[in-house]
A and B are shown apart, each in its own frame.
Chain A
Amino acid sequence: MRTYYRNIVTAFLLFTGFSSTAEDQNQCLKCHGNHIYSIHNEWTERTEKRLMNPYFVIDSVRMSAGVHQSFSCTDCHSTDYGTYPHNGELKLEPMAGCLDCHGGDEKYASYQFEKIEEEFGKSVHAQACGDAFTCSKCHDQHYYQVTARNSESVTGIVRYSNEMCLSCHDNMQKYQLLSEGQKPELVEAHSWLPNKNLHFEHVRCIECHTEVVDSLMISHNIMPKENAVKRCVECHTADSRLKASLYKYQNLQSRSENGMMGNILSNESYVIGAYRNPLLNWGSILIFCVVLLGVSVHIIFRIIKK
């Protein structure tokens, strides 16, 4: 299986210059690009408009921003989709996963796909749902964008990452594809966290729900809820765990060098307790001591001169 897809990748890289992706995509997008599509019904000999299943609508704008933008649909899907109605058998067509194409490929070594797969294998999702929980549940292959690595905006990274989780944890249908259980209410589960919305906009879910792995850009081991971070001071302190996760990226560091204060934490957020400026720190301690000294000397004189 894997070698089969590896061949696709090689072929893709060789021939991508010749195939005209946009034209191929348009062939599918004339139906899958909209909520309404039209077909020519050969029985009634009329052109009819129909509703497209909203989950089968592909957003071509988002796709053209994703990592797989140069693919035609049939690089991943069977060319048999060229005919309509689609052959029923196609519904059972196995789809390639990330590792089928990227596994063991030097070109993508910096992403550490194997290590990610290993970490993901330990996560609650893989443990509870098994093979049904594919990488594509979080990374839509049509739209996936590498964000933390490239973006210069912390809030942008946070939003992108959290939407992955919320697309399922806030969506009953998608959740129930994987679990018989009731979807836990996130608002209730996090009621202990003050300013919940502010936190969800400024920290990623994975900050609290994964173990930080230094060798990985993004920890993929979502732990059981009992192990989630609940102690405020893990973040709200000078040695904040955010420095080892969200704020560790080079792209953010370089931006902060151009920023005014040279301090990444101050560019987009203010994390109580995490900002320590040595000048202000020592300055305030000095003033404090001088005042105490002044008061003490005054007291001594009052006692002596009584």
Chain B
Amino acid sequence: MGTEGRIYLYPKWLRAWHGLNALGIIVLIFTGINMQYASPDFQLMRFDLAIRFHNIAGVLVAVSYLLFFIGNLVSSNGTFYQIKLKGLRNRLFLQIRYYAYGMFKKEECPFPVSEKRKFNPLQKYSYIAVMYVFVPLVIISGIALLFPELIITEVYGVSGVFLTALLHASVGFLISIFLIVHVYVASVGKSPFKNYRSIITGWHE
């Protein structure tokens, strides 16, 4: 823990990004499911509204991603996203062991939060994967679907738009899986709601 038990972990811009991003992604998942599984008998909302909200939320997420990307370039927050391969497997194992076993035995967590180390290894590498691979992929494929004339028309007899859409939906699915785990794991801690409060106030207690 920090010197006074409280660390300022999430600066304003980061919280703003996180709020917009979370809102956008939740709308995207909801409307996306509604489009992928559209049928006259299954409709959470009207198809054309789903399309419109999906487009708006997509633009929102893309713009807020820029905020995140630039923020991490210019501020010190970027240092939490630096890959260090040496001993990585061991660190991941320690953290997994903690979640699966240690925490029930009231063991100390192997990578406690500090000013130098905001994330434990599992958090860090899942964030890196999501923020630097998955989210950019959905954004790029989404922009392509918004402007289909940008896409190669045919690849080995299969429509380029189709392949792009397949990629888009698959990565979107992986992000939904991330979201479930992410939201759940954030409840692990001294009290289940502590982390949710942190991402709103910025202070880790």
> Would you mind naming 8 contact pairs between A and B with Cβ atoms under 8 Å apart?
A194-B51, A232-B47, A259-B157, A260-B157, A267-B159, A275-B166, A280-B170, A295-B180
Give every chain B residue within 8 A of A233 (Cβ-Cβ).
Answer: 38-40, 43, 47
Q: Secondary structure of the B side of the interface?
A: helix
CA distance A275 to B103 in the complex (A): 44
Q: Are B159 and A270 in contact (CB under 8 A)?
A: yes
B74 within 8 A of A: no
CA distance A237 to B43 in the complex (A): 11
- Which single member of B39, B154, B181 contacts A273 (CB below 8 Å)? B39
Q: Are A273 and B184 in contact (CB under 8 A)?
A: no
Give every chain A residue within 8 A of B159 (Cβ-Cβ).
Answer: 266-270
- Which single member of A259, A273, A288, A298 contacts B35 (CB below 8 Å)? A273
In order of increasing CB-CB distance, the 8 nearest A-B pairs are A273-B38, A232-B47, A237-B39, A305-B104, A270-B161, A270-B162, A266-B162, A259-B157
Q: Are B180 and A267 in contact (CB under 8 A)?
A: no
The answer to whether residues A270 and B47 also contact, given A237-B40, A260-B157, A284-B173 and a CB cut-off of 8 A, is: no
Residue of B nearest to A154 (CB): B159
Give every chain B residue within 8 A of A186 (Cβ-Cβ).
Answer: none
Q: Which of B149-187 contact A (CB under 8 A)?
A: 154, 156-159, 161-162, 164-166, 170, 173, 177, 180-181, 184
Q: Which of A261-296 contact B (CB under 8 A)?
A: 261, 265-270, 272-273, 275, 280, 284, 287-288, 291-292, 295
Give every chain B residue within 8 A of A266 (Cβ-Cβ).
Answer: 158-159, 162
Additional 15 contacts, C-beta under 8 A, given A233-B38, A273-B35: A231-B40, A232-B47, A233-B47, A234-B40, A236-B38, A237-B40, A258-B157, A260-B158, A272-B36, A272-B38, A273-B36, A273-B47, A280-B170, A288-B177, A291-B180
B48 within 8 A of A: yes
B148 within 8 A of A: yes
Q: How many Å from the CB of A199 to the closest CB on chain B?
A: 12
Give every chain B residue within 8 A of A284 (Cβ-Cβ).
Answer: 173
Give every chain B residue within 8 A of A234 (Cβ-Cβ).
Answer: 40
B interface bracket (residues with beta carbon within 8 Å of A)? 20 to 34
Q: Which of B26-58 contact A (CB under 8 A)?
A: 35-40, 43, 46-48, 51-52
Give every chain B residue within 8 A of A275 (Cβ-Cβ).
Answer: 162, 165-166
Q: Are B181 and A198 in contact (CB under 8 A)?
A: no
CA distance A234 to B103 in the complex (A): 52
Give every chain B residue within 8 A of A288 (Cβ-Cβ).
Answer: 177
CA distance A253 to B113 in the complex (A): 59
Q: Are B40 and A267 in contact (CB under 8 A)?
A: no
Give every chain A residue within 8 A of B164 (Cβ-Cβ).
Answer: 270
CA distance A270 to B104 in the complex (A): 49
CA distance A275 to B159 in the complex (A): 13
A239 within 8 A of B: yes
Give every chain A residue within 8 A of B37 (Cβ-Cβ).
Answer: 273
Residue of B nearest to A294 (CB): B181
Q: Are A287 and B177 in contact (CB under 8 A)?
A: yes
CA distance A295 to B104 in the complex (A): 15
Provide the A232-251 mask, 1 if CB < 8 A to any CB of B, else 0. 11101111000000000000
CA distance A267 to B153 in the complex (A): 10
Give every chain A residue within 8 A of B35 (Cβ-Cβ).
Answer: 236, 272-273
Q: Are B39 and A239 in contact (CB under 8 A)?
A: yes
CA distance A266 to B154 in the complex (A): 10
The answer to whether residues A291 and B104 also contact, given A269-B162, A273-B38 and a CB cut-off of 8 A, is: no
A301 within 8 A of B: yes
CA distance A160 to B154 in the complex (A): 21
Give every chain A residue within 8 A of B158 (Cβ-Cβ).
Answer: 259-261, 266-267
Q: Are B38 and A232 in contact (CB under 8 A)?
A: yes
CA distance A239 to B40 in the complex (A): 9
Q: How many Å from the CB of A258 to the closest CB on chain B?
A: 7
A302 within 8 A of B: yes
Of the candidates B39, B51, B148, the one having the most CB atoms from chain A within 10 angstroms of its own CB is B39
Q: How many Å from the CB of B8 to the closest CB on chain A?
A: 28
Of the candidates B36, B156, B180, B188, the one having the most CB atoms from chain A within 10 angstroms of its own CB is B36
Q: How many Å from the CB of A192 to the closest CB on chain B?
A: 8
Q: How many Å from the CB of A223 to the closest CB on chain B?
A: 19
CA distance A9 to B138 in the complex (A): 61
CA distance A269 to B51 in the complex (A): 17
Q: Are A198 and B43 in contact (CB under 8 A)?
A: no
